Amino acid sequence: MNGSTDRVFVDWLREGPEFGPREGLERALVATRGVGQRPGWAIPERWIPMQLTMSRTPSSRPLLLLASVALLIAALVAAALLAGAQQRVPAPFGLARNGAVAYGVDGDILVRDDPGLAPHVLFGGPTYESSPAFSRQGDRIAFVRQGPDGWDLVVSRIDGTDEHIALALADGALRQIHGGSWSPDGTRLLVQYAERAMPKLAIAMADGSGWHPIEGTGPADFASWRPDGRQIVFRSQPGDGTQASAAYLADADGSNIRRLDLIGSEISVDDFMDLQWSPDGTRLTYTTQSVGIDDLGWQIHIVDVDADGGVLDHPMRFVPGSTDESRATWSPDGSRISFILVADGERQIAVTEPVDGAPVTRVGPTIAPAMGGLGHDWSPDGRTLLISVFQRSGEFTTWSADLATNASTELDGAVIDLPSWQRLAP
């Protein structure tokens, strides 16, 4: 290489691979490819006695190059390690790799590394733990702990370390925490709690630095984060003297509350259950009581929602003649929904695309409507449904349904509440 190329290459090394002139590196590399190694006879020391050769003034260039190369290697290693760490955290929405499954049993939090494997206790002891929820990044877990002094929403890493309280409620006889859902960025939790049996909502910082209730509404529940993290949706009552429920949109801190113009009954307090955003945040599902003479029972709505809260509401009936369709849950990629179907005298989970006329596939075990209920949740990779069966007799069973083969397998051991499935990077 010539002197100019040397200087360009050294400048690139000094600036580093992220900021140095890329074109300079490419020119330097081209120059080196065109220069062959010197033959042995061209080295004076090979044919002139060493003591007769001309002495040279020491140069600092080799030391500079060595130091620069060392810095470059260190920077590349650090960048590789950083990239590896970032790749281990999945995006908060979309398809992901399946991780562990956490759930509560008899006051302990149990974890299965795979749904088919035996569980182990993650949190146990004299206090009562329940309602685990993995963060969207899969790196932390939140759960409810009931102790002698009241109720806490606890956050820790998935190995049980760095445990701390995000929200604490004293006087457990009057106030209880039911669970929390993570914000898309993992910094906050949307908390469902009750005060004197009235459902309420709060925003808690995941690091335990503070929390505040969402004010300005009556009883509030069925809350969900919009995937962009800027808004939440929840059900409440308008406070105008009626007993009907309504759906509300609010900013992420619980302020700027406004009512969504959705279709619902003017008298039913049970409408607008199961409010849930699609993974891309453009649509919303909820369940309401159908009031049509020829179309009775629970009905799913799919709503287009713009950034300002403008809506276009689509009441759906996926299976003609069904008695109930409720509790729609989006697949991780948003291409399908699962829901509870009551038809032909049986209650079962059904899967379909969220459009009119799409084919419906029934999966998993069946149960008589009067004998119990069902819970369901998608695996992060979108290939499996976990289905919980709650018998009125007190029996609980959990099934894994393969959506490609429609085969269902009953899991060993009781799963009392609906599991939370950890998301991992693909």
pLDDT in tens, 322-376: 999 999 999 999 999 999 999 999 999 999 999 989 999 999 999 999 999 999 9
- Give 267-326 pLDDT, tens digit per residue: 678 899 999 999 999 999 999 986 554 556 899 999 999 998 999 999 999 999 899 999
Give me the sheet containing 258-259, strands edge to edge: 221-225, 231-236, 246-251, 258-259
Does residue 415 register a pLDDT over 90?
no
Quick one: DSSP state of residue 355?
Answer: S
Give me the sheet containing 372-378, strands edge to edge: 372-378, 384-391, 396-402, 407-410
Residue type, 290: S
The structure tokens listed for 63 are 């030391």
- Give 189-231 pLDDT, tens digit per residue: 999 999 988 999 999 999 999 999 998 778 999 999 999 999 9
Tell me how crowded residue 162 is: count the other CB atoms within 10 A of its CB.
10
Q: Would you state the pLDDT for residue 8? A: 43
Domain boundaries, the chain: 3-87, 126-213
Q: Would you state the pLDDT for residue 20? A: 46
Q: Would you state the pLDDT for residue 198? A: 92
Q: Would you state the pLDDT for residue 238? A: 79
For the ranges 23-27, 79-83, 341-345, 416-420, the maximum mean pLDDT occurs at: 341-345
Q: Would you state the pLDDT for residue 273? A: 93
Q: Would you state the pLDDT for residue 417? A: 67
Cα separation, 178 vs 129, in Å, equals: 11
Give me the sheet containing 150-157, strands edge to edge: 128-134, 140-147, 150-157, 164-170
Does residue 54 register a pLDDT over 60?
no
- From the list 138, 120, 172, 177, the residue with the least C-alpha distance to 154 is 177
Does residue 58 register a pLDDT over 60?
no
Q: Would you state the pLDDT for residue 291? A: 58
The structure tokens listed for 10 are 């050294």
The structure tokens listed for 185 are 């960025």
- Give 139-193 pLDDT, tens digit per residue: 999 999 998 889 999 999 999 999 999 999 987 678 899 999 999 999 999 999 9
The answer for residues whose C-beta is within 8 angstroms of residue 131's C-beta and 6 or more apart is 104, 143, 144, 178, 179, 180, 417
- From the list 144, 152, 68, the residue with the least C-alpha distance to 108 is 144
* Calculated CA dihedral for residues 321, 351, 116, 131, nearest 10 degrees: -80
- Give 95-130 pLDDT, tens digit per residue: 999 999 999 988 999 999 998 889 999 999 899 999
The confidence band for 385, taking pLDDT boundaries of 50, 70 and 90, is: very high
The answer to whether the CB of 130 falls within 8 A of the CB of 417 is yes
Give the distance, in angstroms, between the CA of residue 219 and the centroid of all CA atoms in the same chain. 26
Cα separation, 326 vs 338, in Å, equals: 9
Residue 343's DSSP bridge partners are 346
Average pLDDT over residues 71-84: 53
Does residue 48 register a pLDDT over 90?
no
Give me the sheet containing 346-352, strands edge to edge: 324-330, 337-343, 346-352, 361-367
The answer to whether the CB of 134 falls within 8 A of the CB of 140 is yes
Total length of the chain:
426
Share of the chain above pLDDT 70, in %: 75
The overall average pLDDT reported for the chain is 82
Question: Which H or E run includes 213?
Answer: strand 211-213
Q: Would you state the pLDDT for residue 73? A: 61
